[in-house]
Structure 1
Amino acid sequence: MSIQAPHNPKKLMGTQWTAVNVENRRRHWEVIELHLTTDEVLLRAVIDGHTLRVEWRALRNREDWEPGWKK
Structure 2
Amino acid sequence: MNKNPLSPKKLLLTKWTAVNPRNREKHFVVTRVIEPVPPSMRVEQVELEAVHSKQVYLLHWRELTDTSLWRQGWV
* TM-score calculated relative to the size of structure 2: 0.82
Larger radius of gyration: 2
RMSD over aligned CA atoms reads 1.2
Q: How does 1:33-48 map to 2 (within 5 A)?
A: 33-37=32-36, 39-48=44-53
Structure 2's unaligned 5+ residue stretches are 37-42
CA distance in 2, matches of 1:30, 1:14: 6
Per the alignment, residue 16 of structure 1 pairs with 15
Sequence identity percentage: 36
Unaligned runs of 5+ in 1: none
Q: How many residues align?
A: 66
Determine the structure 1 residue equivalent to 2:5.
5
1:58 aligns with 2:63: yes
TM-score, L = length of structure 1: 0.87
Cα offset for 1:47? Answer: 0.6
- What's the CA shift for 1:69? 0.2
Deviation at 1:25, TM superposition (A): 1.0
CA offsets 1:22-67 (integer angstroms, 9 cap, x no match): 1111000000001131610000000110011111111000010000
Partner amino acid for 1:15? T
